[in-house]
Amino acid sequence: MPIRISAELSHICPLEEVVAHATALEAHGFHRVWIPDTVVSAWEAWMAASLILQHTQRIQVGLGVTNPYTRHPVVVAQMAATLQTYSGGRLAMSLGKGIGRFLDKAGVTQHDTAVEECVTILRGLMAGERTTFTGQAFQIDAMLLRTQPPEVAVPLYLAAIGPHGWASAMRVGDGVATVWGDALAETRQKFMAERVIPSAVLIPFAQSRPDFFARRVATLDELQQRVEVLDGAGFDEVIVAYAEMADLQVAAQLV
């Protein structure tokens, strides 16, 4: 299957334009809209996801990268199960350790095992199981949600930049989400030698906003070249992290 073209909702998109961006992505035929879960966005990610799912019919919705600290896994499980049922199975999530400097400012204590612990807890709770878990970061004592387990399980992607993240994704993830960089093909081949899971790669794209994202792509030709490289390497999904509506419309030529 050819690589799928998705987009990351621009984190500088004003709240009042979120629905317009999402419906434009759906109309252009993008596979999925990923909603960045970060304090630098102009809106709260789960609220944006609710708006998008309410006003679209087909497009898949990804939420993340979500860290396991600012929302407890029990809360995330209930929210994700609710949205998955409401949307008829269109939700996916990406989990990661979060941006350290923001978590430090919030006084959050971070643990190396927190992401994998979160995955275990989420799977149990969203499946409707009474969940007990004792880890370094989280302890759950016979917790059972009243939320109806969704008919379609929420795919849990793990964010991976370096070897540790890739290894973690291959241990417990339903998929892996990473960013464009050197030697991605070799990295995928190395870590998926024994187990193959869906893989998504984010590429920042902004024609006229050099301050939008580090190492952004500024032309459609360069964006297309990177998509072709990833397609040839066996990746499943490209996530175009665009800046403005004009960039979205240009990137839509790849769909």
Which residue ranges form the domains of the chain, and what is each CATH number? 4-68+81-94+156-254 (3.20.20.30)
Across the range 54-80, mean pLDDT stands at 96
Share of the chain above pLDDT 90, in %: 87
* DSSP symbol at 10: P
Q: Quick check: 240 pLDDT over 80?
A: yes
Query: Do the strands 139-143 and 131-134 form a parallel or antiparallel pair, or are they unpaired?
Result: antiparallel
Q: Quick check: 94 pLDDT over 90?
A: yes
Share of the chain above pLDDT 70, in %: 99
Query: Do the strands 4-8 and 237-242 form a parallel or antiparallel pair, or are they unpaired?
Result: parallel
Q: What distance in Å separates the CA atoms of residue 9 and residue 65, rounded to the nearest whole number?
A: 12
Length of the chain in residues, anyone?
A: 255
The model's pLDDT over 171-185, given as tens digits with 9 standing for 90+, comes to 999 999 999 998 999
The model's pLDDT over 193-230, given as tens digits with 9 standing for 90+, comes to 999 999 999 999 999 888 888 789 999 999 999 999 99
The whole-number pLDDT of residue 211 equals: 84
Reported as type and span, the H/E element at residue 26 is helix 18-28
CA angle 214, 60, 123 (to 5 degrees): 95
Per-chain mean pLDDT for the chain: 95
Which residue in 105, 133, 100 sits closest to 119, CA to CA? 133
Query: Do the strands 175-179 and 156-159 form a parallel or antiparallel pair, or are they unpaired?
Result: parallel
The whole-number pLDDT of residue 208 equals: 85
The model's pLDDT over 9-32, given as tens digits with 9 standing for 90+, comes to 999 999 999 999 999 999 999 999
* DSSP symbol at 27: H
Question: What is the phi/psi pair of residue 217, to 5°?
Answer: -95, 135
* Residue 40: pLDDT band with limits 50, 70, 90: confident
The whole-number pLDDT of residue 51 equals: 97
Q: Which two tokens stand for residue 162?
A: 């370096």
Which residue in 234, 202, 67, 87 sits closest to 154, CA to CA? 87
Strand partners, 242: 205
The whole-number pLDDT of residue 104 equals: 73
